[in-house]
Amino acid sequence: MTVMDAALRESLKALQLSDMLETLNARLAQAHGGELGHLDFSLLASRRSISPPAGQSADASPDGDPLWDPPSTDVLDLDWAPFLLERVCELGGLDDVHRNALRQALDGDTAIDLAFLSTHPHAIGPFGPDPAALSATQVARAAELLGHIDFPDLLAALPTDETEAASLIGNGADKIVGGPKKYLLEHFNAMREFYRGASQRQLLVVLWWD
């Protein structure tokens, strides 16, 4: 598959990301050369968000490409929190509906075809599962259900002692400096605000590990 082939063009049009066609080759070269920043969990909004303001030139972008770098508010790096967030919700007895919403917000869905993002030389997620996405409708639902989760209450179900809590959570939680509770609360709140903002703007979300 070439960057400009018809199948890829139609896929990007369906995702409202057709502007990516103009700069995808350059971005791939930058990624291969290690020039792009760390994007573990990225919101690739619609053309409204990745297009530069009127009159902005590539010279205004740190890497020479304003179409690639979304605003900082459109990118969320969850570090290694996803596994730990799910574990806390399990330990806290969160109901299945909200646990599934959390899982989908962290893992995405395979209904939107992003196969071209997993195929050499276009692959963007070398580690973990293939890139996935949530439609604007799914984002809105996830934002609604995440807003219902009382994460401090779930953390309160853990042992008071941070070392004991980390041991119960597992998955490397004992390696978090200062204990896992503050770390996980901050990441959960960031994810909830991220989805709330995407929902308000009716954007889709693309997720991947790198």
Convert the pLDDT of each residue in 42-76 to its tens digit. 443 332 222 223 334 434 555 544 445 567 778 89
Q: For residue 98, what are its two tokens? A: 């909200």
Amino acid sitting at position 21: L
**How far is residue 174 CA from its own chain's centroid?**
24
Task: For residue 75, give the 3-state DSSP assignment.
Answer: strand
**How many CA atoms lie less than 13 Å away from 36 in the CB half-sphere?**
20
Q: For residue 72, what are its two tokens? A: 């900082």
Return d(Cα 168, Cα 87) in angstroms, integer. Answer: 9
Say if pTM beats, i.e. exceeds, 0.75. no
Note whether 85 and 43 are within 8 A (CB). Answer: no
The pLDDT assigned to 172 comes to 92
Apex CA 71: angle with CA 133 and CA 124, to 5°?
Answer: 40
Q: For residue 201, what are its two tokens? A: 């703007």
Apex CA 34: angle with CA 32 and CA 39, to 5°?
Answer: 95
The pLDDT assigned to 114 comes to 82
Q: For residue 18, what are its two tokens? A: 């057709």
Q: How far is CA 130 from CA 116, 148, 152, 183, 207, in A?
A: 10, 29, 31, 26, 9
The pLDDT assigned to 140 comes to 97
What residues of the chain score a pLDDT lower than 70? Answer: 1-70, 121-128, 210
The pLDDT assigned to 121 comes to 67
* Domain boundaries defined on the chain: 6-209
Closest C-alpha to 114, from 14, 202, 23: 14
Convert the pLDDT of each residue in 9-35 to its tens digit. 555 454 444 444 444 444 444 444 544
